[in-house]
């Protein structure tokens, strides 16, 4: 029987933490050693979420990372890097689901998150964790900065066109994204109450205000070799529990067939990306509860615009499923281990 990899989870009682626990407990190579919560320490997980996971929650300071080979940090930004700096050791693999290790440059992190990075010495050991683009680097890294949910839904469809220089010079990437309420986290705030969200849709931080814009521009700008690349982003809170639907509006003079071919070639053989047939748009029913990103390609006749649609589950491909994908890579496992691959039909 294959050896079990001992794992701990910091911050297990958010929505992403819950999804991660379900995935880890179904992973054939994982032994879950501890789970933490400051709010619910001393309780069993089944007392927080009505489920069959009956493991005790401990305070972060009381968890013993010396006995594990990997940890997942499902903590708020700044809290994550403080915890990681405290527990870090050369043989510990860390998958961080916060924003703290998504940027190579601590100045860019400070620009978008409004706070100084307190563990810049660890950034050289980290890698941006989007497997489809940075698989080999992730496999060699000790700390993986798991991407944001909105950013995953925008970067994956845009990357082949940016990297292939298929957009008009100076073209701004216009991204319209709608997310279910779990994307806001598990917290009691008026804006996320049922009566506020039901039968409503709420644009917020329109333009270049949302923190994920910095992440999108950093990654796509590096792929394009153009630090001036800009993303105009409209995130919207939508009246469903989970899933992100993004539509990108891009200016290009390339023929429609070339645009489609570039995206299909980039993701040929990728287990968790599906490029849909011509005329088919992405939608949420294909991705809820799984680790897929589905992409639709829509040329607009009579214009120089192409619309790219994409859909992901914000809690899976946008967070916990992608984190498990990265875990598999850093331990040299088959990338799909513990992650079901559903079929997608047009």
What's the rounded Cα separation, in Å, for the pair 154 and 136?
Answer: 21
- Complete edge-to-edge strand list for the sheet that includes strand 202-203: 202-203, 231-237, 173-179, 244-251, 305-312, 293-299, 273-275
| Residue with token string 């910095």 | 214
Q: Which one is catalytic: 149, 171, 195, 293? A: 149
User: Within 13 Å of residue 134, how many CA atoms lie on the same side as its CB?
Assistant: 24
Closest to 24 measured CA to CA, from 97, 80, 104: 97
Cβ partners under 8 Å of residue 167, min gap 6: 161, 173, 250, 251, 252
Active site residue 195: no
Ramachandran area for residue 111 (φ above 0: left; ψ -120 to 50: alpha; else beta): alpha
Burial of 56 (0-12, 13-18, 19+ CB in 10 A): middle
* Residues catalogued as catalytic: 149
């Amino acid at each position: 029987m294959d050896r079990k990899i001992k794992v701990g989870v910091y911050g297990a009682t958010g929505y992403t933490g819950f999804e991660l626990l379900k995935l880890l407990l179904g992973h054939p190579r994982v032994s879950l050693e501890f789970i933490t919560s400051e709010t619910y320490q001393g309780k069993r997980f089944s007392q927080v979420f009505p489920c069959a996971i009956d493991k005790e929650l401990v305070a972060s300071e009381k968890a013993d990372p010396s006995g594990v080979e990997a940890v997942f940090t499902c903590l708020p930004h700044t809290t994550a890097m403080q915890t990681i700096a405290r527990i870090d050791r050369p043989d510990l693999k860390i998958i961080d689901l916060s924003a703290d290790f998504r940027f190579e440059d601590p100045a860019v992190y400070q620009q978008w998150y409004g706070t100084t990075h307190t563990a810049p010495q660890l950034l050289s050991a980290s890698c941006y964790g989007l497997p489809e683009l940075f698989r080999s680097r992730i496999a060699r890294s000790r700390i993986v900065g798991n991407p944001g949910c909105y950013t995953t839904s925008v970067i994956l469809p845009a990357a082949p066109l940016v990297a292939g220089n298929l957009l008009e010079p100076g073209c701004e990437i216009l991204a319209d994204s709608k997310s279910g309420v779990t994307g806001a986290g598990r917290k009691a705030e008026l804006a996320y109450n049922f009566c506020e969200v039901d039968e409503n849709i709420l644009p917020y931080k329109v333009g270049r205000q949302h923190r994920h814009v910095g992440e999108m521009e950093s990654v796509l700008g590096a792929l394009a070799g153009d630090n001036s690349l800009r993303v105009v982003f409209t995130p919207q809170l939508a009246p469903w529990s989970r899933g992100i639907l993004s539509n990108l509006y891009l200016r290009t003079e390339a023929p429609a067939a070339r645009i489609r071919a570039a995206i299909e070639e980039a993701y040929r053989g990728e287990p968790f990306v599906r490029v849909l047939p011509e005329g088919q748009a992405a939608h949420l029913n294909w991705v809820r509860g799984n680790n897929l990103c589905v992409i639709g390609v829509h040329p607009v006749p009579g214009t120089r615009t192409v619309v790219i649609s994409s859909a992901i589950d914000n809690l899976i491909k946008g967070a916990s499923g992608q984190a498990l994908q990265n875990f598999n890579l850093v331990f040299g496992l088959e990338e799909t281990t513990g992650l079901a691959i559903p079929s997608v039909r047009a």
